[in-house]
Amino acid sequence: MEELAGIIILGIFAQWFAWRVKIPAILPLIVIGLLVGPLSTLFTADGSKLISPIFEVGLNEEPGRGLFPGESLFYFVSLAIGVILFEGGLTLQFREVRETQRSILRLISLGSLITFVGAGLAAHFIMDLGWSISFLFAALIIVTGPTVIAPILQNIPLNRNVSTVLKWEGILIDPLGALVAVLVFEFISSTEHGIGFTTEALRTFVQIVIYGGTLGFLAGYGLFHIIKRELVPHYLLNVFILAYVLFIFVLSDQLAHESGLLAVVVMGLVLANKDVPRIKEILSFKESLSVLLISILFILLAANMNMSELRLLTEDWRPLALFGCVILVLRPLSVFISTARGNLSTNEKLFISWVGPRGIVAAGIASLFGLKLAADGVPGAEYITPLVFMIVLGTVLINATTARLVARLLHVIQDTSSGVLVLGANDFAITISEYLKKQGREVFLVDSNSSNIRRAQERGLRGIVGNIYNSDLSDEYDLLDVGYMLALTGSNDVNSYAINRYEDIFGERGAYRLITADEMKSPGATADHEHIFSHTDDFINLSEAHREAGVIHERKLYSQRELVDLLLIAAEEKYSIPLFIKSPDGSLNVVPYDPETLDVDSGGYQLVYLGVELPNVKTNQQTVTEEQGKL
């Protein structure tokens, strides 16, 4: 009991520590696993591990100790990885890869092949391993895990091309790497039993693709209809989906060994690209579950290593040479060849080449296959687990400590965030968002009402279903380039809460909310002028103006006096509401509390407003311009 409780406590502590210092959690998790596992044997009285993942029978009538008897640890690892990959599949939406889909597809196909062949050759000639073990190692390090890519994307404001490629590669390549590893493993196992490659390994590969892909696709559509038709009550939905995922994973594995990984990724992919009700709630639950499983898994797998395996890495120069070959030669080579004809810049390719951390799938499957082959007496199998853990720990350590610096040096960080986050997908918010989109801005609407988001998406806008109190918008990859925030909901509490919580994250260039009815009754009483979107109109006024005339107009300004006069007229006109001042360079600013502070006499400025058209206000400058036009 103490061991199991200790793993959970230490795992969550490691997650918290990683959050505080902004590094991938896998780094402190593996370090803790090594400390309570193989390294603890150096200071315990009897030379035993503080935490022993695999149950060992005691000697001389002493009680045995350990958590998982026999192969139970690896069953747990397989099921946990299946849940993690399903959660990763839920974040993959096809609309994200329109600009980079060629690079992504080539990276996970051609890039994987280059890594596989190159790492296999390197392991054979550098480590002097047999060909079969060398290529099993190569298959395991193909993957760049989503669990270690995610913290990098969340903590560094990378441009959209780089973040999209890294995110999709990390999730899609996990099952591919697992498939290749299974194929090589089956080849090794079959040849050990005298069965040829073509009669067993190739058949296994075809079965994995057919059964895993087909079952995952059908299961995804089945789950979509179960959720949409509300066949499961709301309070059971999350745990029902967990049971459903585990069932499909096990069923697929029964039909074709190790096909469950592919099945759950395909199932998540299907759901991610369907209009699933309450998808954010489902994803939130799966994220929390994944955090717990990852915390437990990495400590277990690291603790399961032995000092003899660690000595293989520390007493020989060859593992370090192999590590250098993987990250300094093979990764850049695979990235540049795979993206040769894509739309990525050289600096973007260099950064992607540098960031290739390996994650839970590599570590989990390495532990599983390594022990199985070592038990079968396959020469060199004892190297599999320590070598893969070296790659995992080394790549995570390097990327966690240098990614931000390298991103800045290569200029792939977004220096200016021009995207706009609009909270509330009501009618006038959608119209304003459409206008912003026409001005070249990336606009994202957030609303807890899925039908509102659906209406926004039907009009070509990007929407996120989420409750501002329950959803953590800072984890949304889509919002990486957001610099402005407009809180336009009908709730004053929601608008104020959103500004307080997310201003530093999404409102670095401006965060604005609707004025309250009380603030309108006492002009100038509020000290929060910098966050007010419109100082003369609240949610009701905007809604009525949009209902009367849902059109946004642009009025050219000839002088400061004309701006003030137009704003005075708009204040009297019930159905005309000023929104922005458009500068000559096309930038937009909300109308300030004191319009006299805004100099528009230089010309080229426009007043952007919603509702009925304002009457003409003739100024001296306008009269001169008109007279010149008559000459």
The tens digit of pLDDT for each residue in 574-626 reads: 889 999 988 888 888 888 888 777 777 777 889 999 998 888 765 544 443 44
Q: Residue 17: inside a domain, yes or no?
A: no
What's the domain count of the chain?
2
Does residue 429 contact residue 179 with C-beta atoms inside 8 Å? no
306 and 446 inside one domain: no
pLDDT reported for residue 544: 92
* Residue 239, CA distances (Å) to 243, 281, 451, 465 in order: 6, 12, 25, 21
Average pLDDT score, the chain: 80
The residue out of 393, 410, 427 marking a domain boundary is: 410
297 and 400 inside one domain: yes
Question: Is the model more confident about 264 or about 72?
Answer: 264
306 and 453 inside one domain: no
pLDDT band at 193 (very low <50, low <70, confident <90, very high): very low
Q: Residue 50: inside a domain, yes or no?
A: no
Q: Residue 5: inside a domain, yes or no?
A: no
Structure tokens at 9: 């406590």
Q: Residue 89: inside a domain, yes or no?
A: yes
The DSSP letter of residue 437 is H
Number of H-type helices and E-type strands within the chain: 24, 9
Does residue 625 contact residue 598 with C-beta atoms inside 8 Å? no
Q: What's the one-letter identity of residue 364?
A: G
Please tell me the least confidently modeled range out of 374-378, 451-455, 555-559, 626-630.
626-630
Cα separation, 136 vs 630, in Å, equals: 83
Cα separation, 218 vs 224, in Å, equals: 10
Q: Which residues contact 630 (CB under 8 A, 6 or more apart)?
A: none
Q: What residues are paired with 510 via a beta bridge? A: 484
Strands (DSSP E) found in 365-493: 419-423, 443-447, 462-465, 482-487
Q: Residue 231: inside a domain, yes or no?
A: yes
pLDDT reported for residue 631: 32
Q: Which domain holds residue 242?
A: 75-410
Nearest-CA neighbor of 619 among 556, 572, 573, 574?
556
- Give, rounded to a whole angstrom, the gap between the first and last alpha carbons of the chain: 94
Counting every residue written for the chain, the total comes to: 631
Does residue 33 contact residue 393 with C-beta atoms inside 8 Å? no
406 and 469 inside one domain: no
φ and ψ at residue 75, rounded to 5 degrees: -65, -45
282 and 382 inside one domain: yes
Cα separation, 525 vs 530, in Å, equals: 13
Model-wide pTM > 0.85: no
Does residue 445 contact residue 430 with C-beta atoms inside 8 Å? yes
DSSP 114-140: HHHHHHHHHHHHHH---HHHHHHHHHH
Block residue for tokens 């670095």: 508
pLDDT band at 189 (very low <50, low <70, confident <90, very high): low
pLDDT reported for residue 630: 38
Q: Which residues contact 83 (CB under 8 A, 6 or more apart)?
A: 242, 245, 246, 264, 286, 289, 290, 293
Cα separation, 265 vs 273, in Å, equals: 13
Does residue 206 carry a pLDDT above 80?
A: no
Please tell me the least confidently modeled range out of 189-203, 316-330, 399-413.
189-203
pLDDT reported for residue 382: 80
Collapsing DSSP to helix, strand or coil, 336 comes out as: helix
* Residue 591, CA distances (Å) to 172, 497, 560, 613 in order: 46, 22, 13, 18
Does residue 163 contact residue 146 with C-beta atoms inside 8 Å? no
Question: Is the model more confident about 1 or about 340?
Answer: 340
Q: Residue 162: inside a domain, yes or no?
A: yes
106 and 254 inside one domain: yes
The residue out of 373, 388, 410 marking a domain boundary is: 410
Does residue 465 carry a pLDDT above 90?
A: no
Q: What is the pLDDT of residues 501-522, one digit of tens each?
A: 888 778 878 889 998 888 887 7
pLDDT reported for residue 179: 63
Does residue 176 contact residue 104 with C-beta atoms inside 8 Å? no
Q: Residue 103: inside a domain, yes or no?
A: yes
376 and 443 inside one domain: no
Average pLDDT value for residue range 232-246: 87
399 and 423 inside one domain: no
Does residue 395 carry a pLDDT above 90?
A: no
pLDDT reported for residue 248: 92
pLDDT reported for residue 254: 87
383 and 429 inside one domain: no
167 and 269 inside one domain: yes
The DSSP letter of residue 585 is T
**What CATH number does the domain containing 488 carry?**
3.40.50.720
CA angle 586, 592, 594 (to 5 degrees): 135
Structure tokens at 306: 């032995």
Q: What's the one-letter identity of residue 610?
A: L
Strands (DSSP E) found in 477-622: 482-487, 510-513, 552-556, 576-582, 588-590, 606-611
Q: Which residues contact 496 (CB under 8 A, 6 or more apart)?
A: 487, 513
Q: Which residues contact 63 (CB under 8 A, 6 or more apart)?
A: none
The residue out of 356, 376, 410 marking a domain boundary is: 410
460 and 359 inside one domain: no
The secondary structure element, H or E, covering residue 263 is: helix 260-272
Q: What is the pLDDT of residues 520-564, one digit of tens each?
A: 877 665 556 778 888 888 899 999 999 998 899 998 888 888 888
Cα separation, 179 vs 253, in Å, equals: 12
CA angle 240, 246, 250 (to 5 degrees): 145
pLDDT reported for residue 329: 93
pLDDT band at 487 (very low <50, low <70, confident <90, very high): very high
Q: Residue 609: inside a domain, yes or no?
A: no
371 and 278 inside one domain: yes
